[in-house]
Structure 1
Amino acid sequence: MIVIGDSYKFTKYDLEKLNKKFPQIVHISYKDKNVKDVIKAIKQTLDNEKGKKLIVLNTDVPVPDELIKYLTSLELEGISFLSIEHFLEKYLHKCYIPENPNDLSFLEDIKPYSKWQYIQKRFIDFFGIFWLFFFSWPVMLYCVYRIKKESPEGPIFFKQKRVGKNGKEFVCIKFRSMVPDAEKGKPQFANEDDPRVFKWGVVMRKTRLDELPQMWNILKGEMHLIGPRPERKYWVEQFEKVIPYYNERHVVAPGITGWAQVNYPYGANVEDAKQKLMYDLYYIKNWNIWLELKIVWKTAMTVIMKKGV
């Protein structure tokens, strides 16, 4: 794979996935380069590398006609090329967020669920939490026991206002996994090996057991079983200032688990929030039953293998 330009910075998680399909990834700089030099660099790379090839245009600036003509001529030789937008959706299953906030074409397919899609979602919600409760109630009782044993000075449940559909706040309920007053009045990101999390809290977070009480939020219609993770208003306001289109994730109701949660670890900064948004927007844009089932399967593997962080 040849990547021309560096508009999108691939994360280590992206590269881990891509290296399974593309053993060799070559980057060619595009910024402030003469188009003839870029074409020459592409030719040299193609001559040196054997096998099937893909060229990715990783740039936000207009591509000169000369380069477009060259790339289309390569298609006759079986060498395909994609824009970074289409590449991310096809191979990494996430939506590209351009740095230019004036490019509104990005929003065209980010829409609320249709009436039929919403009916399907609610059927999945009720069917899912019926069986989830059926199998998990003994586990939830054990969680209550362990929380009271390891952190008796605090409540069993952790209640916090989160931002839901259309930007409206609701009270999200979870099993408490941290010591009481963990934030001391100041919002903080949770991270791996967080000292505020007690021993059983670590297990609950890795297996997502702390999310089980949110079945009540689903019954009330505030959440779905699957959807973007609900975030606090404080963080939403911070992210809106620096991440284009962040509010688009609120066109649908949040979920206990989601495409971002099974593809990316807990966020610890703005860049992590942007990466998760890319997955959330892909989910909203490409929603279908098969994607829903895939998330259920990947969530189950996360719980069984304790891969959450």
Structure 2
Amino acid sequence: DVVITLLLLPIAAVIVGICAILIKLFSPGPVFYHQTRVGKDGQHFTFTKLRTMIPDAERDTGPVWATEDDPRITRIGNILRKTRLDEVPQLWQVLTGEMSLAGPRPERPEIVERLRKEIPLYEMRQIVRPGITGWAQVNHKYDASTEDVIEKLRYDLYYIRNLSLGLDLQIVLRTFGVMLGKKGAH
């Protein structure tokens, strides 16, 4: 994780800089979005992304999943999400040990609590560090329903059972394919 992240940091800094300028040009509000997420062993941490939604997007709704054509997503945010560039700031969290390059995606505490009650084995996702990308992300679309979460949990459990450097490298390489729009989940 650390070696690959250190190699990616110079490119990531340029990407974040360009994205920050575009976010400021096309959308009022902060460049970064910070949120509490649940990590390994249920520990909470502050998760950072490039902002892709209007400021205070959940003020009226509370915590809800974004949909594919969600009106809260800005035009530049839509591009950042499709290319996954909104996730680039999380490389820093790999260096701090809060996250890994590959692993189950971290979720918000409110949603984790609800899904633990609804989906058997959901808490198993927290026995490994959460990832910037994961087996579920390169094989399945964004969550839009509890059924999607159950399907992604199957991928996450496969990842946990088959954890290896080879699988991590496969996930990272497939993620680049998704980012370039060539193949994989969107």
- Provide TM-score, normalisation by structure 1: 0.58
Percent identity between the two aligned chains: 49
Residue of structure 2 equivalent to 1:109: none
Residue 127 of structure 1, CA deviation: 1.4
Unaligned runs of 5+ in 2: none
Where does residue 150 of structure 2 map in the other structure?
A: 274
In structure 2, how many angstroms separate the alpha carbons of the residues matched to 1:139 and 1:217? 17
Paired AA for residue 22 in structure 2:
R
The answer to whether structure 1 residue 285 and structure 2 residue 174 are counterparts is no
User: Whole-Å Cα distance in 1 between the matches of residues 182 and 79 of structure 2?
Assistant: 8
Instruction: Please state whether the residue corresponding to 1:256 is helix, strand or coil.
Output: strand
| CA distance in structure 1 between the aligned counterparts of 2:9 and 2:95, rounded to whole angstroms | 12
Deviation at 1:187, TM superposition (A): 0.7
Alignment match, 2:59: 184
Instruction: State the partner residue of 1:238.
Output: 114
Compute the displacement of 1:136 (Å).
Answer: 2.7
Aligned to 1:252, which of 128, 142, 166?
128
Alpha-carbon distance, 1:306 to partner: 6.5
Residue 214 of structure 1 corresponds to which residue in structure 2? 90
1:131-210 matches, within 5 Å, as 131-152=7-28, 154-184=29-59, 186-210=62-86
Match of 1:135, SS state, is helix
- Please report how far the alpha carbon of residue 172 of structure 1 lies from its aligned counterpart in structure 2 after TM superposition: 0.4
Divergent runs of 4+, >6 A = none
State the partner residue of 2:6.
130
1:169 maps to amino acid: H
Q: Which has the higher relative contact order, 1 or 2, with Cα contacts under 8 A spaced 6 or more apart?
A: 2
Q: Which residue of structure 2 aligns with residue 224 of structure 1?
A: 100
Quote the Cα distance in structure 2 between the aligned partners of 1:297 and 1:209. Answer: 15
For the 8 Å contact 2:101–2:172, the answer to whether it is kept is no
CA-based RMSD of the aligned residues comes to 1.3
Residue ranges of structure 1 left out of the alignment (5+ in a row): 1-124
How big is the shift at 1:151?
A: 1.1
Tell me, yes or no, if the aligned pair for 1:177 and 1:202 is still in contact at 8 Å: yes
Quick one: distance in 2 between partners of 1:232 and 1:259? 19
3-state SS, counterpart of residue 180 of structure 2: helix
> What does 1:29-178 align with in structure 2 at a 5 Å threshold?
125-152=1-28, 154-178=29-53
Give the AA of the match of 1:174: K
State the AA in 2 paired with 1:164: G
Give the 3-state SS of the residue equivalent to 1:305 in structure 2.
Answer: coil
CA distance in 1, matches of 2:99, 2:12: 19
Deviation at residue 129 of structure 1 after TM alignment: 1.2
Amino acid at match of 2:52: S
Letter in 1 for 2:168: E
Q: How does 1:5-44 map to 2 (within 5 A)?
A: none
Q: Shift in Å at residue 135 of structure 1?
A: 2.1
8 Å CA contact retained: 2:65, 2:144? yes
Q: In structure 2, what is the Cα distance between the partners aligned to 1:295 and 1:265?
A: 15
- 2:33 maps to a residue whose letter is F
Mapped to 1, the partners of 2:34 and 2:86 lie a distance apart of 12
Number of aligned residue pairs: give it.
184
Cα distance in 1 between the residues matched to 2:130 and 2:173: 18
